[in-house]
Amino acid sequence: MNDAGTKDQERPEHGRGGTYTVKGQEFVRDSRYITTRITRDGADGYPVEPGRYRLIAARACPWANRAIIVRRLLGLEDAISLGLPGPTHDERSWTFDLDPGGKDPVLGIERLQEAYFRREPGYPRGITVPAIVDTRDGAVVTNDFAQITLDLSTEWTAFHRDGAPRLVPDDPDERAEMDSVMRRVYTEVNNGVYRCGFAGSQEAYDAAYARLWTALDWLEERLATRRYLMGDRITEADVRLFTTLVRFDAVYHGHFKCNRNKLSEMPVLWAYARDLFQTPGFGDTVDFVQIKQHYYVVHTDINPTQIVPQGPDLSGWLTEHGRDELGGKPWGDGGTPPPPVRDDERVAPGHNPLYPAEA
């Protein structure tokens, strides 16, 4: 029971967090994960080993999109394979409906739930992406989305491409600052849009809305004088903010009622987001069609008709951003952009302005 004396509502939310609870009409995300780590020393029983693990990460999901971006920026495509569930799911699980026969070609399963059950029969929490699966036994190793990307940066260094950026700073003070920035981005922005969208009362929504826009105004100010969140180069913090910003006008502005402004009406954040979108490894991972299908079809409590909007116009993502005037070295000293996306991992034509519809 919640403080108001009414029963808390628990709902499935498979994108990340398993389930969420509306406590006193406020959205509270379940943060219980499988926290096993893949490390160089194999302390948890899972050593870094190229070819052994498969990243399952739906393009529709912002939390999974992070892992896709980091894997690409670091050049880990040959070390860790990628499985892509479709954009919609039922209450049981994400499904591999985009693959021939509706099965993941490596794991041979129809539902990601099967990999969770191989790790823990009857796994009681939500079936979330991203998840890393051990191809030896088909069981999930971890779905701890925040730790997954940090470990790709710090534990898989032997398999990074030449010129890979250093997304996690070595300097302790810079790392502490980045962690602080990422905590605020997560609580107020990444999760803040969900807090607005799934609020169960006007009061809860009003409070969530105020928190979100306080944070976005803070980011607008922070990024006015620096090209990236931590200064002159791309870090993990930018990856984490980008996946929310790129979904903002297409989904969060209307679907989640985050409608004080569109992203395209915030000069600094809009230019920053376009800068990243046009940077190899960011925009080329984004599938706007799948993003809209996921939110507008799956969230039937918010959008019971399941009608997917046609807009917004996406051509603005390719317009000049002017952020290079702030200088900086996006990839750090000696770093280089990743090579073009391999053919079998490209976003479908027409799903992204970088990949126009085929004539």
Residues 61, 116, 228, 258: which is the catalytic one? Answer: 61
Q: Give the C-alpha separation, 19 to 28, whole Å.
A: 9
Alpha carbon of residue 306 to chain centroid: 22
- Per the annotation, the verdict on 272 as an active-site residue is no
Q: What is the DSSP string of 91-134?
A: SS-BB-TTSGGGS-TTT--SBTHHHHHHHSTT--S---SSEEEE
Q: Which of 112, 124, 3 is nearest to 58 (CA)?
A: 112
Q: Give the C-alpha separation, 139 to 91, whole Å.
A: 20
Contact 221, 205 (CB under 8 A): no
For the sheet containing 9-12, what is the strand order?
9-12, 19-23, 26-29
**Residue with token string 């996921």:** 294
| Torsion on CA atoms 253, 254, 258, 263, rounded to nearest 10 | 10
Q: Which of 115, 120, 151 is nearest to 134 (CA)?
A: 115
- Per the annotation, the verdict on 61 as an active-site residue is yes
Residues 53, 116, 194, 209: which is the catalytic one? Answer: 194
Q: Is 317 annotated as a binding residue?
A: no
3-state DSSP helix/strand/coil percent for the chain, to nearest 5? Answer: 40, 10, 50
Is 241 exposed, middle or buried (CB count within 10 Å of its CB: 0-12, 13-18, 19+)?
buried
For the sheet containing 139-142, what is the strand order?
81-83, 53-56, 131-134, 139-142
Annotated binding site: 94
Catalytic residue positions, numbered: 61, 194
> Annotated binding site for glutathione: which residue ranges?
94
